[in-house]
Structure 1
Amino acid sequence: MDLNGKVALVTGGGIRVGRALVLALAKAGCDVLIHYGQSADGAMEVKAEAESLGVKAIAYSANLSDPVATETVIPKAIEAFGKVDILINSASIFPDEDRFYQTDVALWDRIFAINLRAPFQLSQAFAKQIPPDGQGKIININDARIPRPNTDHFAYRLTKRGLWDMTEMMALELAPRITVNALALGQILEPPGEPDPEAFLKAFAEEHIPLKFCGNPKVVTDSVFFLLGQEFLTGSTITLDGGENI
């Protein structure tokens, strides 16, 4: 896909799937704002890689649990690039201690702020800066497990269920100028800190995934380009999990 002249904002763009999205967009000619929270080193590395591909890239830190800080992200992109054509809400948190009896109000508020309120704030600001005769694309990164209720990661699951519904609601509200879609990811990467990623992913696939292999960042970036290329698709969440959650 040729994205020359386009500008994308990717939250959580310094690490993992966010990093892969930034570099794929840059390779396609898209200028990028790389949002990060605490992953400064990763964000600066991916910024340098994106620039080496011939595009303009900036890295910008904002604490998405703070609504005031979140409100600065879209204006920063406009200051740097003059516009934003593509918003990818990729940043989220997944605390291990988030079970029903463990989750206190402070943790609840932090998870909801980063995983749900921030995508809302950013999408609202993004939509407001699209001109009346312009076109925009919003892609939300979600979790393929969400349609099947479980008790693990209690508040996290609620935020991702909310993001699933918000994708459809925003698609209705923002049509026809802006399409809003989502990717619900299964096992794409090993957990952070996993000592033997290859063995983990192989064992997980054998036990849980009908297709018998896990995903990878290219599966995600190819799907993002599919969504960016669609004119007659909005309000959809595409599940990328190899059949794990059927």
Structure 2
Amino acid sequence: MTSLEEAVAAARATDRPLLGRTALVTGGSRGLGREIAIAFAAAGADVAVASRKKDACEALAEELAAATGQRVTAHAAHVGDWGRLEPLLDEVEDALGPLDVLVNNAGIAPTYPSLAEVSEELFDKVFAVNVKGPFRLMAAAGRRMAARGGGVVLNISSMGSLRPTAGDLPYTAAKSALNTLTAGFAQEYGPSVRVNTILAGPFATDISKAWDPAVVERMARDWPSRRVGEPGEIVGAALYLCGPHATYTTGALLAVDGGRLAAP
């Protein structure tokens, strides 16, 4: 049983729950990834920001390092490129030290006219970024973490993986596969490495600019929240799952979706 002193010390530590940790956030230059990278640096972590556009990563890294005093590095990487991912981990660890936290946030959800018109190229691209890349990163990073005695992986999935529609089926199928990977990797690298997933609902990110506002408003009437989420509202769940109070949480799917899964 935890002593009173230990409980108080643990509670006070939540001011900077990731102090001394090193985190890699893919797709970290914008959207949900950007908010997670900012929150992690503010929580005391050194952060590697990775995306296909290094200039965007560099801009965020410079600003975030200045604001938090943490080390923040920028890395160009297409997570759908299998051969790029182990070198990416090497780059991050050369710059910041051993990796403690991996956030698989990078994802794509291209639109298409109909399911019959989905091309093989589109399908393969969606699965490469949303499934193949995270699989390889979890395998490579998880092995390193386990050998060093511990670490955390956080995957960003979608509530659509449990409620797919015809308009986003390749994407939601890929995210469903990511949910399955979460369970498998939690078993493979446990107990020292925890692997969890956030099922993200609709958020007001760059992707949402392509949505029809009238359709979203009509759909949101049935959600308990009655609205889409703001990007910063992903932060609490990410900090919890990667922080010191989630040590008994692994293989979990946590919905952060404004109640969308609870809607009729």
Aligned ranges 1:212-231 → 2 under 5 Å = 212-228=226-242, 229=244, 230-231=246-247
Aligned to 2:257: 241
Give the direction of change, closer, same or farther, for the CA distance of 1:107–1:28 in structure 2 (3 Å limit): same
Check conservation: 1:127, 1:174, Cα contact below 8 A: yes
Aligned to 1:146: 161
Aligned to 1:28: 43
The CA distance in 2 between the partners of 1:240 and 1:217, in whole Å, is: 11
Check conservation: 2:200, 2:255, Cα contact below 8 A: yes
What runs of 5+ residues in structure 1 fail to find an aligned partner?
A: none
Give the direction of change, closer, same or farther, for the CA distance of 1:239–1:82 in structure 2 (3 Å limit): same
Q: Percent identity?
A: 27
Larger Rg: 2
Matched, 1:48 2:62: yes
Aligned ranges 1:135-214 → 2 under 5 Å = 135-192=150-207, 194=209, 203=217, 206-214=220-228
Give the direction of change, closer, same or farther, for the CA distance of 1:196–1:148 in structure 2 (3 Å limit): closer
Check conservation: 2:37, 2:47, Cα contact below 8 A: yes
What runs of 5+ residues in structure 2 fail to find an aligned partner?
A: 1-13
The CA distance in 2 between the partners of 1:131 and 1:237, in whole Å, is: 22
Aligned to 1:113: 128
Deviations along 1:219-244, one digit per CA (max 9) or x if unpaired, are 21111111123111100010111221
The CA distance in 1 between the partners of 2:259 and 2:211, in whole Å, is: 24
Matched, 1:130 2:137: no
Matched, 1:8 2:29: no
Secondary structure, aligned partner of 1:87: strand
The CA distance in 1 between the partners of 2:147 and 2:85, in whole Å, is: 24
Give the direction of change, closer, same or farther, for the CA distance of 1:185–1:193 in structure 2 (3 Å limit): closer
Deviation at 1:57, TM superposition (A): 0.9
Deviations along 1:80-107, one digit per CA (max 9) or x if unpaired, are 1221000000000010127421222222
Aligned to 1:57: 72
More displaced 10-residue stretch of structure 1: 185-194 or 160-169:
185-194
Check conservation: 1:8, 1:30, Cα contact below 8 A: yes
The TM-score with structure 2 as length reference comes to 0.85
Check conservation: 1:201, 1:214, Cα contact below 8 A: no
Check conservation: 1:98, 1:155, Cα contact below 8 A: no
The CA distance in 1 between the partners of 2:224 and 2:69, in whole Å, is: 40
AA in 1 matched with 2:36: L
Secondary structure, aligned partner of 1:130: helix
The TM-score with structure 1 as length reference comes to 0.90
Correspondence for 2:104 among 89, 93, 111: 89
The CA distance in 2 between the partners of 1:117 and 1:146, in whole Å, is: 16
Give the direction of change, closer, same or farther, for the CA distance of 1:196–1:92 in structure 2 (3 Å limit): closer
AA in 2 matched with 1:211: S
Deviations along 1:135-176, one digit per CA (max 9) or x if unpaired, are 100000000121123222222121111001111111111110
The total of aligned residue pairs comes to: 244
